Amino acid sequence: MSSILECKALQKRYGLKDALCGINLSLEPGRIIGLLGPNGSGKTTLIKLACGLLTPTGGEILIDGQKPSKETKAIVSYLPERMALPTWMTAKQAMDYYQDFYSDFRRDTAEDMLARLGLDERQTIRSMSKGMREKLQLILVMSRAAKLYLLDEPIGGVDPATRDYILKTIIGNYNEDAAVVISTHLIADVEQVLDEVVFLRQGNVVLHRSVDDIREAEGKSVDELFRQVFAY
């Protein structure tokens, strides 16, 4: 199977600091991958490189065999860490916007999920609670039939019920032939939805392994292993 995301000696430097130190990584479609690491380990940098929002300092990153471009943006669905939609928009306008931009947007799916949440489409983003904004944004992202979903901290700072909703929305809606990358440091919360994990530390990949392998071989959860790998 060919990789949906491939990094070859990928390097990104900000000033004097290497955010990514020449990593090699290959992710296959059909899997949910946890991109795990403490703050400042390079998770967001990697995701932004994959989206084409940053350009590599060295090496290369390929999406479905191509460098990030207009073509790859059409198959990548990205959830930024912060709300990226103008807050004056209503939920309906946000859906219009997605429909205009992305030909793979499944409007029925999005409308159906919003209805089940009991969210009025005429409500503006500004008037929504933080949890509701997160849910709306995730619904838009997951309603695309993309080949690669890049979710940057989708469960950061939400209550446990919202977190469950978000995780179930991800597993219930991703395109089966796609890869889903979830970046987070809240490992215990996402562990059971992941196929495999990538540990990043100070810009290096220190581990890339399947979750069940870790549990079988180490007799401990990924969360425990993470605490051990990143212990001071």
Partner 1 sequence: MEWQFRGDVPIYTQLCEQLTLAIVAGAFSPGERLPTVREMAVDAGVNPNTMQRALSELERSGLVYTQRTAGRYVTESVERIEAERQRIAETRAREFLAAMEKLGYDHAGTVDLLEQMRGEWMQ
Positions in the binding site for partner 1 (CB under 8 A): 30-32, 164, 167-168, 171-172, 176, 192-195, 211-212, 215-216, 219-221, 223-224
State both tokens at 164: 């469950």
Considering the complex, state which of residue 18 and residue 134 has its C-beta at the smaller distance from partner 1: 134
Q: How far is the CB of 219 from partner 1 (least distance, A)?
A: 5
End-to-end Cα spacing for the chain = 38
Q: How far is the CB of 152 from partner 1 (least distance, A)?
A: 20
Considering the complex, state which of residue 48 and residue 147 has its C-beta at the smaller distance from partner 1: 147
Considering the complex, state which of residue 112 and residue 212 has its C-beta at the smaller distance from partner 1: 212
153 touches 160 (CB < 8 A): no
State both tokens at 19: 């955010």
Q: How far is the CB of 30 from partner 1 (least distance, A)?
A: 7
Closest alpha carbon to 77 in 191, 162, 203, 175: 175
Considering the complex, state which of residue 120 and residue 164 has its C-beta at the smaller distance from partner 1: 164
Q: How far is the CB of 162 from partner 1 (least distance, A)?
A: 14
131 touches 165 (CB < 8 A): no
Residue type, 216: E
**Alpha carbon distance 194, 97 (integer Å):** 30
Which residues fall within 8 angstroms of residue 43, CB to CB, at 6 or more apart?
A: 35, 36, 37, 152, 183, 200
Considering the complex, state which of residue 15 and residue 160 has its C-beta at the smaller distance from partner 1: 160
Angle at 46 between CA 58 and CA 85, to 5 degrees: 125
Considering the complex, state which of residue 144 and residue 163 has its C-beta at the smaller distance from partner 1: 163
Q: How far is the CB of 178 from partner 1 (least distance, A)?
A: 12
Q: Positive or negative, the Cα torsion across 186, 134, 49, 192?
A: positive
Give the number of other CB atoms < 10 A from CB of residue 223.
15
Q: How far is the CB of 64 from partner 1 (least distance, A)?
A: 20
Considering the complex, state which of residue 32 and residue 181 has its C-beta at the smaller distance from partner 1: 32
Q: How far is the CB of 116 from partner 1 (least distance, A)?
A: 13
